[in-house]
Amino acid sequence: MTRLVAVSNRVAQPNTDSKSAGGLAVGVLAALEEYGGIWFGWNGKTTQGEPGDPKLDQVGNITYATIELNERSFELYYNGFSNTSLWPVCHYLLGYFRYDHREYDEYRRVNALFARKLLPLLRPSDIIWVHDYHLIPLASELRRAGIKNPIGFFLHVPFPDIEVLRVLPVYTQLLRCLCTYDLVGFHTQSDLRSFNEALSQDEFGGITLADRRRPSSDQLVHTGVFPIGIDVDDCQQLAQVAHLEDKTRRMVRNLRDRDLIISVDRLDYSKGLEARFRAVERLFENYPANRNQVSFIQIAPTTRAGVRGYTDIRHALEQATGEINAEFADIDWAPIRYLNRAFDRGTIMGFFHEAAVGLVTPVRDGMNLVAKEFVASQDPKDPGVLVLSNLAGAAQELTDAVLVNPYDIDGVADGIHRALRMPLGERKERYDSMIAVLRKNDITAWRTRFVDTLIAAHEHVRLVS
C-alpha cells in the first residue's frame, strides 16, 4: 500500500486540530489523512549529545516521527545557514545576509542526520515529499543511501534571480541537490523561471530543462508551479463564529465605529513592517480626513528569537508606534495598536471579518496565506479590501487586490486611502473575483496536484512545467 512520507524542519504536534493549523500543516495533514503515512522532522527540542531514534506517535493513519537536534547543530544549521544565509538570499534582502562555511557544513550534516533517522522508517512503495529550504540536500542524502522512491521537493519561499543567488558561495552545490529530486515545485511562474535560468548558467554546466536528469539515472527531474492555497470554507466558518465572540466584540467596541485596518505577520524583516507603519503615518499626513476615523492594528508575534536582527525589528516598531501615536492620537483614539503576541486562528479570522482593509505588504514573500485568509473571511455582502504587496506571490493570483509597491511609502498610503473610500459595488466585484481564485487554487488542489504530478514524474511521464 502506498504511503505518503512528509518531511519538514518542524512537525506539528500530534494532537493539532487541522482546523486551527496554518496553511502548510493543513495541506500536509490532509494529504497524510488521505494516503496514510509519516510526518517526519524536528520536535523543537535540543540536546547536548547525539540525537536518539525518532519518537513515534500514532494518531489514526498518521505516524508522527520526531527527533531532537544537538544544540550546537541547531544553532549552526537553523539560526545559521538556513536563516542568515538562505532566507535573506531567497527574499532579496542581502543586507541581512551572512555566510560561514562552518554553518553550511552543519546544514549538510543535519540533512544527513535527517536521512539516517528516516531510512529505517521507509518502505519501497512510499512517496516522499520534502518541504522547504531547510532540507534542500535531503534527497541527495537519501539517494546516496540507495533510496529509489519518488521524492518531491516544494519550496515555500521565493526562488531568487541568478544574480542574487550567486551571492551564496555554495549555490551550485544546492542546485545539484535540487536536481536529485523527481519533482521540484514552486509557488509562482517567476520562481520557476529563476530556477530554470540558474540551471542554464555556464558555470553550472549549462543544464537545460530537457537535459535535467537525476545522477546515475535516465529519469528526468521535473518542475512545476503549485500555488499553495487555503481551506476557504474553514476560514469562512471560523470568521462567522469568531466575529460574534467576546474578543472580537471587545475589539469592535473599542473602535467606536471607526474603520479598521489590520495586518497579521510573523515578526520578520521580510514582512516590511517598519515601512508599513510609516505608510500608515503618511496616510494621516496626506489624508487628514482619516484622522480619528481609522485605526490600525498590527499583530506580530515574535519568531526566530535566536536570529540576529529580529530584536531590532521589534524595537523599531515600538519606537514607530510611539512616535505616530504621539503625533496623531486624540483623547479617545490611538492611531496604531501594535500587539507583539499571538492570537488563535479563529480570533484572527473574526478580526479579519470586521476589518475595512487588510494590509499585507511584505517586501518579498513566496505566497502569503494571510492575504488569502483575509479575503476568505470577509462578509460577501459588505467585504473589506485587500491592499497587497506586488512582491508577494499571492499578487500573481489576487490581481483584484489593491496592489502596491511596499518600498513606496506614499504609494502604500494612497492604496490604503483608495481602499477606505472604495464604493460597495467595486468592493463586491473584487471580492467575487478573488474568492473564485481561492476556491480554484485551494489547499486541496495544492496537495493533490503536487502528489499526482510527483507520482507521474516518477513513472517517467514527461510533463509540461
Catalytic annotation, pick one of 156, 187, 353, 458: 156
d(CA 88, CA 95) in angstroms, rounded, equals: 8
pLDDT tens column, 294-349: 999 999 987 765 555 677 888 999 999 999 999 999 999 999 999 998 999 999 99
Helices 232-242, 424-440: inter-axial angle, 10-degree rounding: 130
Ranges of beta strands (E only) in 159-235 are 183-186, 222-225
pLDDT > 70? residue 184: yes
pLDDT > 50? residue 280: yes
pLDDT tens column, 130-182: 999 999 999 999 999 999 999 999 999 999 999 999 999 999 999 999 999 99
Average model confidence (pLDDT) across the chain: 91
Q: What is the CA radius of gyration of the chain?
A: 23
DSSP conformation letters of 292-317: TTEEEEEE--B--TTSTTHHHHHHHH
Residue 28, all three cell numbers? 500536509
Give the pairing type, strands 294-299 and 151-154: unpaired
The verdict on whether 156 is a catalytic residue reads yes
CA 422 to chain centre: 29
Please give the pLDDT value at position 20.
43
CA–CA distance from 133 to each of 155, 201, 260 (Å)? Answer: 6, 21, 35
Please give the pLDDT value at position 205.
54
Q: How many CB atoms lie within 10 A of CB 427?
A: 17
pLDDT > 90? residue 278: yes
Q: pLDDT grade, residue 464 (50/70/90)?
A: very low
Residue 313, all three cell numbers? 525589528
Q: How many CB atoms lie within 10 A of CB 448?
A: 16
DSSP conformation letters of 319-371: HHHHHHHHHH-BTTB-SEEEE-S---HHHHHHHHHH-SEEEE--SSBS--HHH
pLDDT tens column, 387-421: 999 999 999 999 999 999 999 999 999 999 999 99
d(CA 394, CA 403) in angstroms, rounded, equals: 10
d(CA 1, CA 454) in angstroms, rounded, equals: 17
CA–CA distance from 98 to each of 83, 94, 140, 309 (Å)? Answer: 9, 8, 25, 12
d(CA 217, CA 235) in angstroms, rounded, equals: 44
Catalytic annotation, pick one of 132, 265, 365, 400: 365
Q: How many CB atoms lie within 10 A of CB 365?
A: 29
Q: Judge contact between 314 and 302, C-beta under 8 A.
A: yes
Q: How many CB atoms lie within 10 A of CB 271?
A: 28
Please give the pLDDT value at position 12.
79
pTM of the full structure: 0.92
Q: How many CB atoms lie within 10 A of CB 60?
A: 9
Domains of the chain: 4-229+443-458 (3.40.50.2000), 232-439 (3.40.50.2000)
Please give the pLDDT value at position 465.
36
CA–CA distance from 61 to each of 37, 39, 220 (Å)? Answer: 7, 11, 32
Cell 551564496: give the residue: 168
Q: How many CB atoms lie within 10 A of CB 9?
A: 18
39 forms beta bridges with: 6, 64
Please give the pLDDT value at position 211.
44
The verdict on whether 191 is a catalytic residue reads no
Which residues, at least 6 apart from 422, have a Cβ–Cβ distance to it below 8 Å? 385
Residue 324, all three cell numbers? 505616530
H helices of 383-464, in order, are 409-420, 424-440, 443-458
pLDDT tens column, 192-244: 999 999 988 755 555 544 445 554 455 567 999 999 999 999 999 999 999 88
Element (H, E) at 74: helix 71-74
Report the chain's terminal Cα–Cα distance, integer Å: 29
Mean pLDDT, residues 37-41 taken together = 97
Q: 329-340 in b/e burial notation, b at 16+ Cβ within 10 A?
A: eeeebbbbebee
* 25: nearest Cα among 436, 369, 414: 369
Please give the pLDDT value at position 243.
87
